[in-house]
Structure 1
Amino acid sequence: MKNSILKSIVLVVSLFFFSNFVSAQKTTQKAVIKTFLHCDHCKECETCGQKFKTEMLKIKGVKMYELDDKAMTFTIYYNSKKTNLQTIKEAISKMGYDADEVKADPEAYESLDGCCKA
């Protein structure tokens, strides 16, 4: 009797943790956003590189990002319950960079270092 109750409790607890794990997986989305970088050192640039490190993670819901300066893409991992792809693209635009079809904010673009502009 005790053994079957213990098994039932273990089963319920296991199902609870598994369902939470599965639901957490569904909320994390991955998106690849095309941008245009005018220099070959944006990740290391004192201005731009620092801006990426601080501003990208300030976007609500963004968990992690990767900048591929060769492919000119951002790979963004984000919580779809806290943000959406359009909001992320607009935030990148406000940093002065294109984000797919969303063009860089002109004022933000002008604030970039000279090497980062065309």
Structure 2
Amino acid sequence: MKKLLFLVIAVLGITTFASAQAKKGIQTVTIQTPTVQCESCKKRIEDYLKREDGVQKANVDFKKHVTKVTFVAERTNIENVKAAIANAGYDADDVKADEEAYKKLPKCCKKTEDGGGGMQ
């Protein structure tokens, strides 16, 4: 009888734990980052996103011009993530890069029409 009771309590505990994990709301989104040019851009965005509250992981693919971000939905949202990328100086979906941050980017990270171009 004690073994059965222990088993029931264990199953309920696991179910509750799994339910609590689902409530944390881990989300992964893919954001178009068309102005990402090179490895330097990749590092800059990934480092910048590490400081964003709730962001667990960021992976920039500069060849495909996309950034995949995993975050805790209770601590941030996709709009905050896009704003963080824009504050680093890069376009993120419909959010344009912050002008001052863009001006501070190294030449290789700027758009070709601004005299830049990636070191691909």
User: TM class, shorter-chain normalised?
Assistant: 0.7 to 0.9
Number of residue pairs matched?
110
TM superposition score normalised by structure 1: 0.81
Tell me which of 82, 88, 103 is aligned to 2:75: 82
Q: How far did residue 52 of structure 1 move?
A: 2.8
TM superposition score normalised by structure 2: 0.80
* Residues 49, 67 of structure 1: alpha-carbon distance in 2 compared, 3 angstrom cutoff: closer
* Residues 69, 102 of structure 1: alpha-carbon distance in 2 compared, 3 angstrom cutoff: same
Q: Partner letter of residue 60 of structure 1?
A: D
Partner Cα distance (1:71, 1:51) in 2: 17
Q: Partner letter of residue 13 of structure 2?
A: F
Which residue matches 2:30?
32
Residue 97 (str. 1) matches residue 80 (str. 2): no
Which residue matches 1:116?
109
Q: Partner letter of residue 9 of structure 2?
A: V
Tell me which of 59, 71, 74 is aligned to 2:64: 71
Q: Partner letter of residue 51 of structure 2?
A: K
Stretch of structure 1 that moved more, 22-31 or 89-98: 22-31
The answer to whether the 8 A contact 1:38-1:115 is kept is: no
Gaps of 5+ in 2: 112-120
Partner Cα distance (1:66, 1:12) in 2: 40
Tell me which of 49, 60, 64 is aligned to 1:56: 49
CA RMSD of aligned residues (A): 1.8
* Residues 89, 116 of structure 1: alpha-carbon distance in 2 compared, 3 angstrom cutoff: same
